[in-house]
């Protein structure tokens, strides 16, 4: 038997982005006598995607704005695939959360001359409602939230990655998680009354991606393997403007949407403002799905730039204006030899955000007792396309709600025992690559690169039946190859081991994305089928749901979207 350490806590939070930190603070401030443990795969306050948020936070503050306007924008952006009650909760709770961030957490947001909070324009919105701190909003939010978690004395486990969720003897209740101490290469069983998945998504299974390099859709993968229900996994957002920087790790890094909101232009390689072909009314301020797909089609049709992208140009706004309002973007471009304030910069669509994830209700409960979810690990809020500025709002709004729900649940729930046999099986599987024969073993990084190319070409911005079927078959083969990867060296800070664990989760989620894309035979939001280019409300105003079966098989089924507050115009829904 392999040796492991144990820790008992009341609440285990996996992830330290906006969702995880808000959950920890709200659970602590509930006043209930609860032990709270927060585990983060990277360094606390220094890793993850919320920290990378540039643009800002959508919230209704101005008297001429309204919840109804923000709600309609969110549903229209999501092509009415959203869970409307979750979307309404996002919109109506966001003002409360922004006030909390400023007055309780200590965040500073940009101000107007009259002292009110400044709100800038973002694409796909009927009102300028995006609150920000320059163009580095995420750093401000994460730094202040992390300070408050430290002040509360919450237990923090740095560089501890979650491997799997632990179930009780019924296999239906989550009772903790198995963690890997990356520094020591040792295992830790955390027994908890309630577990929150807030690891962040991060679709790094694509060739060009915007997320933090440590992200590998871990929470979605381990939630699926535990038996939680997932929805909308086909809905992967590609941000239109990811920096093209050759082979640098900065390739794919987002140049924020505020550049287009402020009046930036997009040009193809022929210096044509190509958005006139795709959305002549909104042009560059169209929604992310439309702009990203339009850019991709321009590139595919031979009208791209020398590096295979398109240009974003804000130089006509004036160098002083650009440097004043987008200092982070100017500096990032300058580091790569580009002058954003003076010339066009080459960009490409970049895999950015998972709209799909683990299904949750308004209290952030998953379909498994004891398991809660918030942020990008969850599905349902954004539907088929997330509005820029709704992401960090979603994380902090539902992170806070999750913290309060976790506290109530943990206060009324006893500890349930985990299964020793399950723990031992998990540890044995995690260590298996060290016992594999090295001769003839596949190259880990060749497999990872093939997956990225495969997903980009066959399950990317434009999809069709045969390519999706081929991708699904090849992903299954890559999963088999992954089982034969051999590792050497010690277990402490073994980066190849971490990369293998990342790849295993990415393959799991890639299969979920591809299967969902295959069964949705229409185009909606971020999901575009070349062979089914029209949106079909008659048959497909439904969520694709996935769940792991008792024998490990992937169950696919549908749930109708509950049009509880608003219906799309000219709605005709298939009633069978």
Q: Angle of helix 465-482 relative to helix 495-519, nearest 10 degrees? A: 150
User: Is 382 among the catalytic positions?
Assistant: no
Question: What are the φ and ψ backbone dihedral angles of 155, each rounded to 5 degrees?
Answer: -65, 130
The catalytically annotated residue of 129, 260, 352, 359 is: 260
Residues 262, 128 contacting (CB under 8 angstroms) = no
Query: What 3-state DSSP class applies to 74?
Result: helix
For 87, residues 6+ apart whose C-beta sits below 8 A from its C-beta are 71, 74, 75, 78, 381, 382, 383
Strand (E) or helix (H) holding 11 = strand 5-14
Q: In this structure, what token pair is assigned to residue 383?
A: 């539907």
User: Is 492 among the catalytic positions?
Assistant: no
CB atoms under 10 Å from CB of 453, counted, come to 12
The backbone region for 438, taken as left when phi is positive above 0, alpha when psi lies in -120 to 50, beta otherwise, is: alpha
| Terminal alpha carbon distance of the chain | 53
- Report the side by side order of strands in the sheet with 57-58: 57-58, 130-131, 119-120
Q: In this structure, what token pair is assigned to residue 12?
A: 């285990």
- Cα–Cα dist 540/98, whole Å: 35
Q: In this structure, what token pair is assigned to residue 43?
A: 């360094």
CB atoms under 10 Å from CB of 519, counted, come to 14
Residues 7, 190 contacting (CB under 8 angstroms) = yes
- Cα–Cα dist 288/202, whole Å: 17
- Cα–Cα dist 39/148, whole Å: 16
- Residue owning tokens 């006509």: 316
Question: What are the φ and ψ backbone dihedral angles of 132, each rounded to 5 degrees?
Answer: -155, 165
The catalytically annotated residue of 160, 161, 239, 386 is: 239
- C-alpha 481: how far from its chain's center? 27
Longest dimension (CA), the chain: 70
Cα distances (Å, whole numbers) of residue 94 to 85, 121, 559: 14, 17, 27
Query: What 3-state DSSP class applies to 559?
Result: strand
- Nearest by Cα to 127 from 195, 73, 52: 73
Q: Which residues are catalytically annotated? A: 239, 260
């Amino acid at each position: 038997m392999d040796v492991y350490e144990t820790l008992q806590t009341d609440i285990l939070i996996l992830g330290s982005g906006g969702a995880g930190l808000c959950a920890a603070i709200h659970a602590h401030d509930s006043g209930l006598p609860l032990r709270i443990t927060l585990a983060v795969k990277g360094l606390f306050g220094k890793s993850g995607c919320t920290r990378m948020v540039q643009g800002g936070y959508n919230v209704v503050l101005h008297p001429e704005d309204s919840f109804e306007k923000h709600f309609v924008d969110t549903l229209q952006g999501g092509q009415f695939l959203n869970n409307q009650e979750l979307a309404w909760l996002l919109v109506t709770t966001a003002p409360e959360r922004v006030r909390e961030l400023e007055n309780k957490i200590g965040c500073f947001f940009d101000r107007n001359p009259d002292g009110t909070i400044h709100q800038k324009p973002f694409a796909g919105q009927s009102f300028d409602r995006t609150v920000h701190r320059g163009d580095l909003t995420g750093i401000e939010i994460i730094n202040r939230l992390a300070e408050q978690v430290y002040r509360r004395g919450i237990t923090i486990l740095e560089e501890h990655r979650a491997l799997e969720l632990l179930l009780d003897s019924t296999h239906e209740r989550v009772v903790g998680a198995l963690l890997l101490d990356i520094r020591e290469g040792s295992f830790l069983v955390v027994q908890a009354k309630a577990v929150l998945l807030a690891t962040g998504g991060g679709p790094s299974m694509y060739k060009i991606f915007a997320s933090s390099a440590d992200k590998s859709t871990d929470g979605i993968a381990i939630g699926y393997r535990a038996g939680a229900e997932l929805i909308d996994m086909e809905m992967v957002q590609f941000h239109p403007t990811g920096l093209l920087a050759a082979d640098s790790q900065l390739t794919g890094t987002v140049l924020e949407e505020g550049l287009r909101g402020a009046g930036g232009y997009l040009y193809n390689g022929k210096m044509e403002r190509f958005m006139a072909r795709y959305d002549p009314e909104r042009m560059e301020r169209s929604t992310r799905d439309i702009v990203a797909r339009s850019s991709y089609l321009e590139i595919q049709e031979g009208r791209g730039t020398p590096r295979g992208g398109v240009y974003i140009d804000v130089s006509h706004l004036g160098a002083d204006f650009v440097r004043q309002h987008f200092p982070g973007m100017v500096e990032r471009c300058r580091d790569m030899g580009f002058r954003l304030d003076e010339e066009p910069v080459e960009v490409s669509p970049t895999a950015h955000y998972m709209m799909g994830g683990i299904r949750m209700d308004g209290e952030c409960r998953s379909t498994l007792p004891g398991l809660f979810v918030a942020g990008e690990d969850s599905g349902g809020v954004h539907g088929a396309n997330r509005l820029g500025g709704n992401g960090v709002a979603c994380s902090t709004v539902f992170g806070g709600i999750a913290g309060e729900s976790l506290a109530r649940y943990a206060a009324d729930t006893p500890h349930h025992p985990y299964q020793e046999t399950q723990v031992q099986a998990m540890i044995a599987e995690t260590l298996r690559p060290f016992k594999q024969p090295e001769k003839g073993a596949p190259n880990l990084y060749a497999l990872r690169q093939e997956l990225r190319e495969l997903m980009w070409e066959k399950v990317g911005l434009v999809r069709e039946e045969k390519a999706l079927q081929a991708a699904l078959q090849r992903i299954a083969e890559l999963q088999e190859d992954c089982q034969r990867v051999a590792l050497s060296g010690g277990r402490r800070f073994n980066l190849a081991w971490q990369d293998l664990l990342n790849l295993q989760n990415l393959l799991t989620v890639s299969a979920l994305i591809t299967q969902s894309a295959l069964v949705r035979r229409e185009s909606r939001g971020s999901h575009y089928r070349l062979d089914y280019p029209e949106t079909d409300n008659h048959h497909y105003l439904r969520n694709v749901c996935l769940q792991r079966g008792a024998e490990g098989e992937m169950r696919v089924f549908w749930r109708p979207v509950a049009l509880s507050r608003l219906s799309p115009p000219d709605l005709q829904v298939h009633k069978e």
